[in-house]
Structure 1
Amino acid sequence: MSFSQIKHIHAREILDSRGNPTVEVEVFLEKGCLGRAAVPSGASTGQFEAHELRDGDPKRYLGKGVQKAVANIKEILAPALKGQEALDQKAIDDRLIELDGTENKSALGANALLGVSLAVAYAAAHVQEKWLFEHVAQLFGEKPQILPTPMMNILNGGQHADNNVDFQEFMIMPVGAASFSQALQWGSEVLHHLKKVLHAKGYAAS
């Protein structure tokens, strides 16, 4: 038995930053290492995106509950992946796709599959005593080239903004900072300076 084999998978319904339900998954390995991941959900989805499985019950969270996706993890994905090697991410992901069997992940839900995949990756990183970015780079035979650098959204447009800007997000990466904290500082300073520039030119910056 390998210490990095999957021992148990648990899932639950939580609320995201918008107050909407999403899926959180925990993957436990034989060594006792834990990987936990919560599935992100965008405010808008395109017609070609993978299918996010929602319950559709208007009496719970206006139909946005994810108990079906959670049940699919507990009843289908968890038993199928028990004993699988967490270090082999490709085999895990291939098995998830096989179990769903649809082009757009609509049978079990992309939110169920992604939650499990992410949690496995975190658990695999943990058992190797690596950061997630180091583990992912290793999977592709690469060495991390730069310190993890935050990507910061400083301007919004598109469908959900109250302006006529075509682009949904303008993001910056403070590359070159000596540490993550310095990168965070640089990003914050750029944001506040940008607000001042926009206000000076008569533009809203809220």
Structure 2
Amino acid sequence: MAGFFISFEGPDGAGKSTVIQRLVEPLIKATGQEVIVTREPGGSAIAEQIRHIILDVANTEMDDWTEALLFAASRRQHLVEVVEPALAANKIVLCDRFVDSSIAYQGGGHQLGMAKVAALNDFAIQGHYPDLTLYLDVPVEVGLRRVQKLGAGFDRLEGQQLAFHERVRATYQQLLKSQSARMVQVDASQPAATVVATCLDVIQQRYN
């Protein structure tokens, strides 16, 4: 793979989408490479259909392991259809969530177990983790207030109980320790411009 793959993680309302969009232009200028912006769940036609099933608030009876399996299936399709071809074409891939989200949300939030969910997703991605993961950290209450301000309503995962979101954030903190070579924490409670500048600095330091 000639390009490089950067994922962005964080609790709901961390501002990942905003940061990613603002990084595109400076990365193109700095590298001369094409930048692909994508997301999970979703990112391709089939994966987006799975996304709709996962996040639909009407699916109240969905089993937690069914949810985890659907995320892994969506991720596999997205990886082979979008991410790997882009990297092979020497492009930079900026992905809003990847495997760490499943470990945090299903492994920690739903308490299925970090190791079990990690193993499930390793099967799906065949060890193809991002080159760099920027974890945008924000207190749970702050993040959920941001989501509310958007006025679109909560999806099925955003609407979980506060304790669920606290477990998600705690699991991310564990991942930061075990995946320190890949994951870098950024304080996302700062102004968006500051967060973007910090992320760009981390990327530049990592890839010179």
Task: Give me the TM-score of the superposition, normalised by structure 2.
Answer: 0.29
Greater relative CO, 1 or 2 (CA 8 Å, sep 6+): 2
Query: Highest CA radius of gyration, 1 or 2?
Result: 1
The answer to which structure has the higher helix fraction is 2
Task: Give me the TM-score of the superposition, normalised by structure 1.
Answer: 0.29
